[in-house]
Amino acid sequence: MFTRTENFQTFLKLYPVVSFLVGIHIFFWLLFQLSIPTLQILLSLLDGYNAGIANGEYWRLVTPIFLHISFGHLFFNTISLILFAPALEQLLGKGKFIPFYLGAGMIANIATFLLEPQQYSHIGASGAIFGLFGAYLFMVFFRKGMIDQANSQVIISILVIGLIMTFFNANINIVAHIFGFIGGFALAPLFIKKRGQFVHQTFYSPSNVKKISLRKIGIKHILWMLFGFLIMMGILFRLT
């Protein structure tokens, strides 16, 4: 489910929305590395500045989802999308995945606006990313058969660790983490309505795009899962 075996071209073909989001992450990060005053002013107009939202700048409820400053912030957000978002895009289709992802991120940002001081400012995709796990947890409990036991345990373990560690890092937007997850869980029944077999049982070969049983992956699957866990730990300490 979280094992990536596709080559670059196949990944772009199978997961166009995730690929676009990754490209947007990188584009804005590169843009704001330039020491150009105009660009820095633009950044100040796109972050999640609560006072700006209070003054009617409602685009700030969306734009922070795509912005990152440090390379570590960019790296862990982007890798988390590559690992955890494709399965949901494949299940929902791009027409449903886009509003779900943005919806979870916006719920996190709205909650941040309502619960944090007006001078509070934030950027990052943490709310939307935790929304993905809210959707997966919904499947664990209410769409049985769409996600197997092994991946269910992975989801629950990551969420428990994530929610605990959320409260132990001063740089984390606690409100965004919690309400991004709640938002994803709440939105899931609107988007995931059918029971049945989920795509976690197969993956796409980078050479011929044929479905192959995960049982044939062996050690490669284990290594990818370990890599995913390490990335998730990085997310917990880097996301804001």
- Burial string for 152-176 (b: 16+ CB within 10 Å, else e) reads bebbeebbeebbebbeeeeebbbbb
Residues 22-55 have pLDDT tens digits of 999 999 999 888 888 888 888 889 999 999 999 9
Cα gap 193→240, rounded to integer Å? 31
Pick the CATH number of 8-238 from 1.10.10.10, 3.40.47.10, 1.20.1540.10, 1.10.3720.10: 1.20.1540.10
Task: Answer with the residue of higher pLDDT: 199 or 99.
Answer: 99
Q: Which segments within the chain are labelled E, that is strand?
A: 202-204, 211-213
Stated pTM of the model: 0.81
Average pLDDT over residues 67-86: 88
Q: Which of 19, 126, 152, 221 is catalytic?
A: 126
- In this structure, are residues 175 and 111 in contact, taking their beta carbons and an 8 Å threshold? yes
Buried b (16+ CB within 10 A) or exposed e, 93-131: eeeebeebbebbbbbbbbbbbeebeeeebbbbbbbbbbb
**Partners of 212 in the beta sheet?**
203
Which one-letter amino acid corresponds to residue 213? S
CB 128 within 8 Å of CB 101: yes
Active site residue 73: no
Output the pLDDT for position 217. 40
Coil, helix or strand at residue 47: coil
For every residue of 170-227, DSSP letters joined together read TTS-HHHHHHHHHHHHHHHHHH----S--GGGEEE-TTT--EEEGGGTTHHHHHHHHH
Is 177 labeled as catalytic in the residue annotation?
yes
Write the DSSP symbol of residue 240.
-
Quote the tokens at residue 228.
Answer: 């995913």
What are the pLDDT digits (tens) for 124-180? Answer: 998 999 999 999 999 999 988 788 888 888 788 877 877 777 677 667 888 999 999
φ/ψ region of 93 (left if φ > 0, alpha if ψ in -120 to 50, else beta) reads: left
Residue 186 CA, distance from chain mean position: 16
Q: Measured between alpha carbons, how far is 175 from 112 in angstroms, rounded to an integer? A: 6
